[in-house]
Structure 1
Amino acid sequence: MLEKKETHYEKAILVGLITPLQDEEKLKEYMDELEFLANTAGAEVYKRFTQKLEQPHPRTFVGSGKMEEILEYANENEIDTIIFDDELSPSQLKNLEKELEKKIIDRTNLILDIFAQRAQTSYARTQVELAQYEYLLPRLTRMWTHLERQKGGIGLRGPGETEIETDRRIIRDRISLLKDKLKVIDKQMATQRNNRGKLVRVALVGYTNVGKSTLMNVLSKSEVFAENKLFATLDTTVRKVVIGNLPFLLTDTVGFIRKLPTQLVESFKSTLDEVREADLLVHVVDISHPSFEDHIQSVNSILADINCSDKPMIMLFNKIDDFTFEKKDEDDLTPITQKNYSLDDWKKTWMAKSPHPTIFISALTKENYSDMKKLIYEQVKDIHTQRFPYNDFLFEYFDEEGNHLN
């Protein structure tokens, strides 16, 4: 009988700063998210260290006193990894590794590591590898001297060239190779998009772990991988969906996140092209998350960066079955939960006053599911009839009981 292997979790601590641009409350939100990222990557967080500074220390990110505190705790508790909430400069990384003698990771490197774990297809793995190399190149140290073995050492090194210069050249060559490979795949994917015909394209966008893949499964009746972890889905999935008698293409895209590494935005160009070429965006929001307003802003910011903020959009607030909100009224300490917060109550909130059509649902329990389907249908129909103005007679919409809704 085979023995079941125990999962090994690295022992980690987190480090973050309170600055004029990031108050204590905001830092707590980021550190909560950083811990979720660390757990997703396979680490168990033992402690958080925070410090109030006007700006990160240029040499070690935190001050000397905090460094001593971190070092003492890390040694006493046999900590494997120290994770910093912001991206470290190459010199900061080098100094921290030298003084702490532990594995040092910043938020960007952690996200890249999760992407590397999650990448399933050759395309996703190529995108992640490119992002990792572009992140690592300026941070290259002598730990990379094994790289010449990838191509064989003979004939590689030029006269007077140091090992580190050779390694840099090998990585640059690899980056160039990966970019060429992605260009070929990008052309193939662009051709695939063109071959989909004139069907309306709808893209699910949103923060990571808001339930996009679950919603994709519900609407397309397919089995897209869905899990309660960050970045459970990396590969873009496209399914043909029919509501009433109206077909359209539905795309599930990679989740966004605050402080999204610029390397990933560039390397995941084709994934983002699915968003750019969509006719309608469905912005999925996890209403049960305490920072959902920040998540909305982060997604809108990334959509603006890729010139998609002016597209038609539906605001879809998901997970109303999991919503809890503590009242601040001292006379009534009863938390509002999904049991005593009705759809009529949701429709009276500021979220319902969005400039975009808005719906509140639970993809898991299918609450308000029929209204969501009708809203998507109406939005897709509007786009379709603008594209094919003489085909309006085709549209007949029935609900799941067969009742005519036109």
Structure 2
Amino acid sequence: MHIYKVGGAVRDRLLGRPVSDIDWLVVGATVEEMHAKGYRPVGADFPVFLHPKTGEEYAMARTERKSGRGYGGFTFHASPDVTLEEDLIRRDLTINAMAEDEAGKVHDPYHGKDDLDQRLLRHVSPAFAEDPLRVLRVARFAARYAPLGFRVADETLELMRQISASGELQALTAERSWKEIERALMEAQPQVFFQVLRACDALQALLPELADSPQGLPALEQAALHQQPLHVRWACLLHELAPASIKAVNQRLKAPRECQELALLTGECLTQGNQAQELPATALLELLQRFDVYRRPQRFEDFIAACEMAALGAGKSGYPQAEYLRGAAAVARAVDVKPLVQAGLAGQALGEALKGERLKALQAYKLG
């Protein structure tokens, strides 16, 4: 029985990057041996065990073969006779197919270290083409390691094109696709993820709206540079699309509600935000009402951030409308409802009167 660190932990240590999660691989052990050493089984599809003291996951070495469509269409075989090399060859990229033994020696049968040095994302074997999810994973790794100069190897990009042409990408569930997209959006250069998908013809299959309208990528790049949260990055990516297209993307990928709301509101209101100083007070009030700035002020701040990233992405030096919009929101929120209540107003009458007072406040704000 031999235990190895595998995958990302080895890769990132060699790159000098922080190692957060460690994947453990057990070679040469039986299920009975794992039980005898106190490991607790957790895996349903293939044998994975929890360490008796640390609680970390330890997977038994396994092989796999294609048995159906999509990400889950595989049959696994785990046994003591599966070698380290046989387990590593089923992995996606050579830089993820290295192992480190308990003495600290790196086992690198597929030359992942060479590809690290050459800054290449290269597939391990032709079996790469059997898993459509790997198209998204490679694009995500390209986004993560773009600051280090990594690129996708030509032969791997060609395999990714073959997967795109096969129709296998359509077998991915919305949940699996969104998980990869979400992680990619939070990488150092998320725009690279979508550039790689376009280069291998996968964007047309997964996000056809973006294949025809790539204008959101500069805004997304700025959002990453300014460390914006996920929902702002998503809104930046989609901001140039028509509202109907934004709705379609949101629904197809089952994006989280916060992402859906901000993306749609940004797509619908970006023009008004960019013309804030020229808007009449009635239109300005309507814009504030759309975002419910009284109960959800942060959502309006996120909208302003998305507008600012879009402006920077378009080559502008800043977004002067930001302070104007914040000032308008502050003026509208400052209107006191108490005098209206004390005057005996309630229900719809109170709502209309409050709206009228806010409109007056905004009219004064515009004059000031």
**Fold shared by both chains (TM-score > 0.5):** no
Structure having the higher Rg? 2
The structure richer in helix per residue is 2
Question: Which of the five TM-score ranges fits, normalised by the shorter chain?
Answer: under 0.3
Larger RCO of the pair (alpha carbons < 8 Å, separation 6+): 1
The structure richer in strand per residue is 1
Calculate the TM-score normalised by the size of structure 1: 0.24
Calculate the TM-score normalised by the size of structure 2: 0.26
